[in-house]
Structure 1
């Protein structure tokens, strides 16, 4: 693995972790106000809904820790589905800041995933050219 690939792996891990945190923050920011219920109930309710929002991302932790082409491709497709959730959150009441955070880290994680996969795509294209000739 090249030093450039190792650096991209670190970026994918960092932005994936920031995506996790932003999903949790977005849940609290777009939820009910703190004054609407007792503090413990507000924390537990927010934690429950934050857990639901990050649950699908938990399945991709092994992919982020030890990336390979197939799993990173699936992560990229999944992030695009999460992008829809982020855009919906932007246009929901009190969801602008949380939605922007989520969308930012979805896009940066997707960007680094594509950069990681790019050399593999070029190599596959070159192999296909050789087989055709």
Structure 2
């Protein structure tokens, strides 16, 4: 499936009610990885917004666990007609991409590019959680 551009992803994130994030497409040796990183401010407010976005996807059953569940089902299939990736509006016949999202952890570092990796700081979740 053709990836969403950064502007389209930024617009989609704003449409969902999240104004502080900035999208960045992730690439590997073979090209676009099908992953878009949404970066938020590196402070408490940015973390809260990122958590809120992750919770939004969890409520929609499109979080980390849901993505892990559908990934084996999507390999090699026609992405444009896969009900795990595309929702069809019955009245209009339009296809809308289904997005999955989750809060990244240290285990996800292998998915981000070197430039992003060298700019980020990993902190303990336990240090933030009580103050939120």
TM-score when normalising by structure 2: 0.31
* Structure with the bigger percentage of strand: 2
Rg larger in 1 or in 2? Answer: 1
The higher relative CO (CA closer than 8 Å, separation ≥ 6) is in: 1
